Structure 1
Amino acid sequence: MMLSDTRNWLLALPRPQKIMVMLAADALVLPLCLIAAYYVRLGDSTLLNDYGIGAPIIIALATIPVFHVCGLYRNVVRFVDMHLLYSTGVGLAVLAGSVYALSYIVNDPLPPRSSLFIYWFIAFAYVVLTRFGARHLLRARQADAGRIPRVAIYGAGESGVQLAHAMRSSQTYTPLCFVDDDPQLRNQHVAGLRVISLDTLRNTAGLLGVDEIVLAVPSASPAARHRIYNALTTLGLPVKTLPTLAELANRKVSDVTVRDIDVADLLGRAQVPPRKDLFAKCVTGKTVLVTGAGGSIGSELSRQVVSQLPAKLILLDHSEYSLYAIERELRERAPDVQITAVLASVCDAKGLDALLRRETIQTIYHAAAYKHVPLVEANAAEGVQNNVVGVWNVGLVAARYRVETCVLVSTDKAVRPTNVMGASKRVGELIFQALAKRAHGSTVFSMVRFGNVLDSSGSVVPLFRQQIRRGGPITLTHPEVVRYFMLIPEAAQLVMQAGAMGRNGEVYVLDMGAPVRIIDLARTLIKLSGLSERTAAQPDGDIEIQVTGLRPGEKLYEELLIGGKVEASAHPRIMASQEHMIELERLEPMLAHLLAACKAGDGLEVRKALQSVVTEYAPYSVLPDRNALPRREADAVSEQVPLVSSPPSAVSPMVTPVPAIEKSQVPVGRAA
């Protein structure tokens, strides 16, 4: 209680009074330090009798200004560090040498040189003990402030040592030990903490009282980090991590940089870096339009675009709040870039035409679309109208006003689609392919196809996290569902590079590595949260995984290629595919029939019309051969499920359907 009262009293003092307390303590103790040095030198009071009490007082009065110059009184005691103590030690040494030199010059009786050295040692020990003791006292938490998490740091390297020091300097974590599998470090002490192996931690975590594990190996490759995560999940403790070296490039390691494991860390592959020449080619110094700019992909596209200094960036979205949020963010991020926000729908053909007539746009990234599979499946007419009419309108004005590059953001669900959303995206690809052939090179139309985007709106990752926070259960449609994953920045960078590489009508796909089983992803998230899965064999587990069954139109696995000719592109991790297409003359009446079914709101007719355009569209689940699951182009074993017609949905009055599409509506030249 006495210590607690003293700490509270010191913390409550104004800063000038705290300095006065330190000055008074030093003025009292420093003369005693020299007296102690005399006694240590001769073992009696002979030196004190010879020089008297005046010498210790003079030395003390000379030492206090030295402390001031070294910054000892300017620094907050709670944040005293080794740099400050080093400067104080040097200052004391200079003082002792100066006193001896001055005594020699004025021919005063010389004190033994060793007594001044002993004074330096005692005075410096006094500074260290008092300042670090006060720091420890002032940083001590109140008894009722709650228990500080006790952590084991995986990685006894430079980053781990910095992190241990940062944790000791804060009230956020208490470091207990290092975990490192380097046999040369085992059972050694680094930064005052013992280094143990992972096996030792596994056997003694409970005895040590470890609450969390922090991974401090920012230089490890994604594959190595993935291997370490898998090993750490067996401990049943929450796992956090330091950012990678790229993320730490402009900041030091601290306890604040410790973050939860990002699911991106679990992919086990490095991000695909952009080629700088391709990345900037269609953006720098140009006027760029991003449709769907408020969505997950559109907003990241906009961030990447402003990083390459366009002459002007036009953001288009029909969601007022989403548009407001991304415009505000980008204005703060890139105040020198001219940004225009347009609240509109890509289904408004007249509005798009007026925009391109008003602005000389050179690059379009079309990311506006409905993408949530179950919602589009249940609202087929509205989903197809938005996704197909939007692509048609954007492609039409791009050709009409000779936009240099027009890129469509597509999805792996467009490959042999089993749902309305995927089929509508494939129709969009067919439209761009047909327009590419008609444009005769005046506008380069290209498409970018990729898999699931981690942490995008509607993805499984935020859903699983939310379900874990609620205590479960985690809902999964099928235990054998596998997906390809990529990061949002990767997706945006791929779109921009594809536009730069575009040779009219090509589809670009990313080498996305191995597919991920969704149930494995769910189990990993449970383990990294320090919880266990509840099963029949383990009824006392924390989180249950419930299988709810495949939703209408959902596949067990996705593909990236329809089967066309695949070629290497200018980027080593991006493939280019020339896939089958439909001539615009044949496509136009098919689109007219499709959009008429959408206007009528007949879900069954919409699906039939989709099948007439996308012949590979099969509105039933596709169950793959389990033995072929790891293969990217696995042969499917189809199992038909009754076609579920969506209920009629009202067509939004803001959407202007395209009725009969005339060939004359696709002019190649710029309007006057």
Structure 2
Amino acid sequence: MGFRKRLQSRIYSGDNVMGLSDLRYLPRWVILIIDIGFIAISVYFSCYLIEKLSFNTIPVFKEGIPVFLIILGISIIFMVIFKTYAGIIRHSTFIDLFKLFLAIFSSTVLVAAISFSYYLSTGQRMIYMSIPFLVIFFTASFMLMFLFRLFVKEVFHFAREVRRSTLRKRILVLGITEQSVAMARAIIDNPNLPYHIVGFLTQRQDSTRASLLGKPIYTKAKIERNSKEDLMLDGVLLLQELLTKEEMNRWVTFFLEKDLQIFKAPSLQKLKSNDSEVTIKTLQIEDLLNRKPIKIENEDVKRRHSGKTILITGGAGSIGSEIVRQVALFEPKLIVVLDQAETPLYDIEMEMRSSFPEIDFKFVLADISNRHRIEPLFQKYQFSMVYHAAAYKHVPLIEENPHEAILVNILGTKNLATLASRYKVNRFVMVSTDKAVKPTNVMGASKRTAELFVQALQNTENNSTKFITTRFGNVLGSNGSVIPHFKKQIEKGGPVTITHPDITRYFMTIPEACDLVLQAGAMGEGGEIFVFDMGEPVKILDLAHRMIKLSGFEPHVDIKIIYSGLRPGEKLYEELLSDDAKTLPTHHEKILISKDPTMDFQNIEKYCNQITKAALRREKVEVVQILKEIVPEFKSNNSIYEVLDK
């Protein structure tokens, strides 16, 4: 009834296009009737073939129609017993085929037994040439039913593929390896994915006449000769783990030139799970900038955290929150997370209590420049390690409010470091920045001053704390970084604003940066500044071009790029080492120790007290003037404070 109603609805509703892929399955009674028809055809065909082969006019059935009905009835009984009609045909398996075989074989055996019994009791044959007849009947009926099911399965598959190809993105899979083929098969078998596999793409020239999964293999030359409209393509799927960074960049450049969308696949296991939340995603600029993370298997890292009490300042920020996540993996006794930003602190609290219910956390809303608020924490918890990631970091804002940077970046660091030394904290790890090298802005100079203070404190009498500094460049996806900013501008339709066409920056991922911080905390002996091999710097203009193209737009056509001029304190090129710094190797080739000039503790403490008093009086010019005395290489750039350098 349901099938008939759906059919009538389609006919009389005005939509006369019957989509086979819309049907859930053929009703069981329809399949049974069709199978009965096949049995009748098989009986008739067997009789016809016996008569033609024997050149005999004797009828095959002695009793005619009654024998025909007996065979039909026996076949129906066994089809009901084995439920050959019960499965969904387009999902038929070997078990369904075996049930079909058993039903027809049992029917044939029972008919043979009845025929033999009839012969023994009457001395006459019920079926002329019974053995050849039964062999032909068995073969014909099994083949007809099997081919019917195969035909229905293929029709539904074809209808589904046609529907998918019209409604879904038509993509190529890059590569012809086993992983590429397995990924393509998983996409074809996953109904939740809005993608249709058109074929495979390779640089090899010896595979063009072959096919994989019934799909053609395209060459790079063919893609070069034709447009995506000619090839009827929407995009290409990449398997990142199969490509080196250089290969990835070459292919991405090629695809962007051909205006093809670029997609990245999740892991094969996730894709096969048919989880609706697991999907293929558009390639992001982070995927191109992301190098293979540096991971150092170091039991010392775990030993220094397991069962210990840890303080993480700035724990609600981009870097600090990731440090919290990584430290929690080592099962410490207690993690105290401190930040002055209320909402982000609440967010990280909800996340960590959900992800690590077995870990004891303490979330503290406090300002590190307030020593009276901070000291009770050191008294109460007796920290083993302190990770100091709290800082003001936005260059233009700090340039306008230099006194605020002093209170947080310098006074806050001084408070924490002094308390760490007083309360015998084992290790104090400070997160610094590449902007502290030959600074051109207040933010960088304030961080360099903080570096000088903790280094000087290392060598004071009665100090047992190991003070360690980590210095790295821009972090992908961190709050206020250029990539999220560009993404928002592209989503709004542009324009994308760049301060200068030649500006370049180093980039690293948040997990990579935090891994460096943890490793430095484990390997440091005190007083070092650890720097990281950040690879080649990235030109921000090239970054913007790629981000626009990856979003499906054309730079300067769909999305404008405008130059806003260097912001106060901003410089074109960042550096990780100062000109007069020397480097020492560590046990990992990508991590170095920078031997920068230092200052004795009495001088840096005197300067810190002096600049703090000026900051409390909101004396901006005096603050910057003192900074330039502390950090002689600090030369303001594109800033009102340039006059102080003359």
1:33/1:180 Cα in 2 relative to 1: closer, same or farther (>3 Å)? Answer: farther
Structure 2 counterpart of 1:152, which letter? L
In the alignment, is the contact (CA less than 8 A) between 1:222 and 1:269 conserved in 2? yes
Cα separation, 2, equivalents of 1:67 and 1:460: 64
Q: Judging changes above 3 Å, is the alpha-carbon distance between structure 1 residues 440 and 508 closer, same or farther for their aligned structure 2 residues?
A: farther
Verify: 1:349 aligned to 2:371, yes or no. Answer: yes
- 2:31 aligned partner: 26
Q: Conserved in 2, the CA contact under 8 Å of 1:446 and 1:506?
A: yes
Displacement of 1:295 in angstroms is 0.7
Provide the residue aligned with 2:263 in structure 1: 240
**Shift in Å, 1:165:** 4.2
Q: Which residue of 2 aligns with 1:637?
A: none
Count of residues paired in the alignment? 602
Contact 2:379 2:423 in 1 (8 A): yes
Displacement of 1:276 after TM fit?
4.0
- Once structures 1 and 2 are overlaid, which stretch shifts more, 608-617 or 574-583? 574-583
Give the structure 2 partner of residue 336 of structure 1. Answer: 358
Contact 1:406 1:446 in 2 (8 A): yes
Q: How does 1:238-317 map to 2 (within 5 A)?
A: 238-243=261-266, 252=272, 256-267=278-289, 269-317=291-339
Partner residue, 1:121: 143
1:549 corresponds to: 565
- Displacement after TM superposition at 1:522 (Å): 0.9
Letter of the 1:26 counterpart:
I
Output the amino acid matched with 2:575.
E
Structure 2 equivalent of residue 390 of structure 1: 412
**Distance in 2 of aligned mates of 1:10 and 1:262:** 34
User: What secondary structure sits across from 2:337 in the alignment?
Assistant: strand
CA distance in 2 between partners of 1:212 and 1:142 (Å): 15
Shift of 1:65: 5.6
Q: Could you say which residue in structure 2 is the equivalent of 1:87?
A: 95
Other structure's SS at 1:364 match: strand
| Contact kept? 2:431, 2:471, Cα under 8 Å | yes
Is this contact kept in 2: 1:154–1:178, CA < 8 A?
yes
**Residue 253 and residue 557 in structure 1: after superposition, are their counterparts in 2 closer, same or farther (change >3 A)?**
farther
**1:373–1:553 Cα contact (<8 Å) kept:** yes
Cα distance change of structure 1 residues 338 and 119 upon mapping to structure 2, 3 Å threshold: farther
1:271-670 alignment, distance < 5 Å: 271-438=293-460, 442-534=464-556, 541-562=557-578, 563-620=580-637, 643=641
Separation in 1, partners of 2:206, 2:20: 47
More contact order relative to length (CA 8 Å, sep ≥ 6):
1
SS where residue 461 of structure 1 aligns?
Answer: helix
3-state SS of 2:502 partner: coil
Q: Cα distance, 1:475 vs. partner?
A: 0.8
Change (3 A) 1:64 1:212: farther
Q: Check if 1:151 corresponds to 2:171.
A: yes
Tell me, yes or no, if the aligned pair for 2:584 and 2:592 is still in contact at 8 Å: yes
**Shift of residue 345, structure 1, vs aligned partner:** 1.7
Supply the AA of the counterpart residue of 2:29: A
Offset at residue 158 of structure 1 (A): 3.9
Structure number with bigger Rg: 2
Is the Cα–Cα contact under 8 Å of residues 227 and 258 in structure 2 kept in the other structure? no
> Bigger CA drift: 53-62 or 594-603?
53-62
Deviations 1:577-634 (A, max 9, x none): 232211111111100111111111122111111111112211126xxxxxxxxxxxxx
Once the two structures are TM-superposed, the CA of residue 424 in structure 1 deviates from its matched residue by 1.0
Residue 173 (structure 1) aligned with residue 212 (structure 2) = no
Per mean C-alpha deviation after superposition, the further-off stretch among 274-283 and 227-236 is 274-283
Q: Give the 3-state SS of the residue equivalent to 1:478 in structure 2.
A: coil
Rounded to whole Å, the distance in 2 between the matches of 1:89 and 1:149 is 35
Rounded to whole Å, the distance in 2 between the matches of 1:316 and 1:268 is 29
Deviation at 1:532, TM superposition (A): 1.7
Relative to 1, partners in 2 of residues 1:516 and 1:63: Cα closer, same or farther, differing over 3 Å?
farther
Task: Say which SS state the counterpart of residue 206 (structure 1) adopts.
Answer: helix
Q: Give the CA RMSD over aligned residues.
A: 3.3
Taking structure 1 as reference, are residues 248 and 11 closer, same or farther at Cα in structure 2, changes over 3 Å only? closer
Q: 1:66 to 1:548 in 2, by over 3 A?
A: farther
Deviations 1:487-506 (A, max 9, x none): 01101111111100011010
Structure 1 position 355, deviation (Å): 1.1
Q: Distance in 1 between matches of 2:245 and 2:80?
A: 53
Residue 223 of structure 1 corresponds to 246
CA 1:260–1:171: 2 relative to 1, 3 Å = closer
Q: Deviations over 1:186-232 (max 9, x none)?
A: 24322232211223224141123322332245422233222221221
Larger helix share, 1 or 2? 2
The residue that corresponds to 1:538 in the other structure is none
Give secondary structure in 1 for the equivalent of 2:207: coil
Gaps of 5+ in 2: 1-9, 51-59, 118-129
Identity of aligned residues (%): 31
Per-residue deviation at 1:368? 0.8
3-state SS of 2:305 partner? coil
Mapped partners of 2:470, 2:363: distance in 1: 24
- Inter-partner Cα distance in structure 2 for 1:359 and 1:8: 69
Q: Is the 8 A contact 2:473 2:506 kept in 1?
A: yes
Identify unmatched segments of 5+ residues in structure 1: 13-17, 535-540, 622-640, 647-672
Aligned equivalents of 1:465 and 1:456: distance in 2? 13
**Contact kept in structure 1, 2:406 and 2:615, CA below 8 Å:** yes
* One-letter code aligned to 1:211: D
Shift of 1:384: 2.0
Distance 1:250 1:509, change over 3 A: farther
CA 352–95 in structure 1, closer or farther in 2 if over 3 Å, else same:
farther
2:223 aligns to what?
201
How far apart, CA to CA, are the structure 2 residues paired with 1:104 and 1:274?
Answer: 75
Distance across 2 between alignment mates of 1:565 and 1:576:
8
3-state secondary structure, aligned to 2:295:
coil
Relative to 1, partners in 2 of residues 1:268 and 1:315: Cα closer, same or farther, differing over 3 Å? closer
TM-score normalized by the length of structure 2: 0.84
- Structure 2: which amino acid aligns with 1:206? E
**TM-score, normalising length: structure 1:** 0.81
1:557-586 per-residue CA deviation (whole Å, 9 max, x = no partner) reads: 111122433122133321122322111111
Q: 1:508 to 1:645 in 2, by over 3 A?
A: same
Aligned match of 1:655 = none
| Aligned equivalents of 1:71, 1:412: Cα separation in 2 | 70
The alignment partner of 2:272 has SS state of coil
Q: Which moved more, 1:418-427 or 1:85-94?
A: 85-94
Deviations 1:424-444 (A, max 9, x none): 111111121112222766221
Letter of the 2:168 partner, please give it: I
CA spacing shift, 1:304–1:58, aligned 2, 3 Å: farther
C-alpha distance in 1 between matches for 2:222 and 2:161? 31
Counterpart CA distance in 2 for 1:174 and 1:250 is 18
Q: 1:439 to 1:269 in 2, by over 3 A?
A: farther
Report the alpha carbon displacement of residue 120 of structure 1 after superposing the two structures with TM.
3.2
Between the aligned partners of 2:281 and 2:497, the Cα distance in structure 1 is 26
